[in-house]
Each structure stands twice: as structure tokens, then as C-alpha cells.
Amino acid sequence: MFDLDGTLLDEVRYAYMARARFEVISKMVGREAAVKWAELSGVDIRDFSVDRYGPLARAPRKEDIVVAACALFLTGHRWHRAREIAEKAYREADRLQETKYKPIFFKGVGGALRALKKAGLKLGIATNGSSAAARGIMASLGFEDLFDVIVGADMVEKGKPAPDIILLACESIGVEPSETVYVGDAQEDMVAGRAAGCRAVIAVNNVDDDETTSLADIVTYSVANFRVPSPPS
């Protein structure tokens, strides 16, 4: 079971996501609100780099939308209206992002996934992003059929670090969490995997983050390093 952004997908996607949301919010309600959104979301609008520990990169989508609504509230919009605008802006930004961004795996990840599948393992994605976006990305890469289940935070009450996403993914394909390994790049991934009762949690692409790696059973640079053991002779 895999996290998506920063685990399988290169984090360049965050910059495209940030730029799309900034552009849409600016167009809908003005630059002041967009700047406040960027400040609260961990986005540097000089180059649209994203703080990998901030809300845009780490929060479940429901919480991410609340951050946007707070930015709108702080720039003069009543809360109910702010929430409506935020939800609409994020939907529109999703569509805009799809026209500008082509998702890419980290180097070697595609081949590693195909090898795991060929070996007979069930594969799944459990992400704090939306399930529709995750399915769309995998389809665009030609990998959707490789995964037995794709679950996003929009399908559960609580996203990571709560275990709900992983538990639902396991239930959907009839496996126990104790038979599952969860792979992610952030602290909340490790916490969620342990809370779900996974057999092991693996940290990738973040070997210098002690808060993440201290919670992992295995630490490696990339999913591309995964190897399928040869059958006994």
C-alpha cells in the first residue's frame, strides 16, 4: 500500500497545484486573498515552491479546503461564503492543473511497481489527496489497472495520520492490515500505518528526516530500490 505524492510521484506536482490554486483564487476573489492563501498553505509565490511539511503538501483535502476558507475569511468573506468559494476554487484549480501538469513517477518507480505486481502482490494507493485525482493520475500514466484499490481522504472521515484510509483500502480488497506493508515519505504516513496495524511501515525519499525515519521499520531512498525475492530453487 502506497502513499502517492512524494512517494511514487515526483513532488514537482505540488508547484503546479500551488500555481493553479493561486491563479484561480486570484481570479475569483482577488490577489489579496490568494496571497493570504499562499501564506497559510506554505507556498512561496516567488517561485511557487511548497513547504513539504505545510498544509498544501501534507493536509488531507478536507483540511486543505478549510485552510483556503480561513484565508478568504481573513480577507473579508463571511465563513459560509468563504467555504463555498474555497471548494469551488479547488475544483476549478484541479481542472486547470490537469491542462498544465503531466504527472511523473520518481525514476525507476514504474518498473518496480510492475515487478511487484508480476510477483503476485496486491497493490494499493492510500492518499490524503482525492481519490478521483489519484485515479486520474494513474490512468494518465497507464498504471491504473496495476492497482487493486485506490482510496483518497475524500472517502473517509479522517485522513492521515488517522488510519482510516489504509483500513478502508485493506477492507476493499479483503486483506488484513497485518498482511499489508505501508510505504510513505512523511511522518503522518508512518503514524497512520502503525495505527492501522500494518505488518511494516517503510519510509522513502526522506532519509534525512529523523521524525519520519525513527517511526519506520525500513528506510530507503526510493520505491525504485524495492526488489522481488527470487523463488527458492
pLDDT band (50, 70, 90) for residue 231: low
Q: Which residues contact 48 (CB under 8 A, 6 or more apart)?
A: 15, 18, 19, 22
Assess whether pLDDT exceeds 80 at residue 118. yes
pLDDT band (50, 70, 90) for residue 106: very high
Q: Is residue 232 part of a domain?
A: no
Same domain as 164, residue 86? no
How many C-beta neighbours within 10 Å does residue 31 have?
13
Q: How many CA atoms lie within 13 A of 90 on its CB side?
A: 20
pLDDT of residue 50: 94
pLDDT band (50, 70, 90) for residue 233: low
Same domain as 115, residue 92? no
Q: 150 pairs with which residues across the strands?
A: 125
Q: Is residue 128 part of a domain?
A: yes
Q: Which domain holds residue 17?
A: 12-100
- Out of 83, 100, 117, pick the residue that ends a domain: 100
For 122-159, the pLDDT digits (tens) are 999 999 988 998 999 999 999 999 999 999 999 999 99
pLDDT of residue 150: 97
Rounded Cα distance, 131 and 97, in Å:
16
- Out of 65, 100, 135, pick the residue that ends a domain: 100
Q: What is the pTM of this model?
A: 0.86
State the average pLDDT for the chain.
Answer: 93
Same domain as 130, residue 77? no
CATH number (domain holding residue 212): 3.40.50.1000
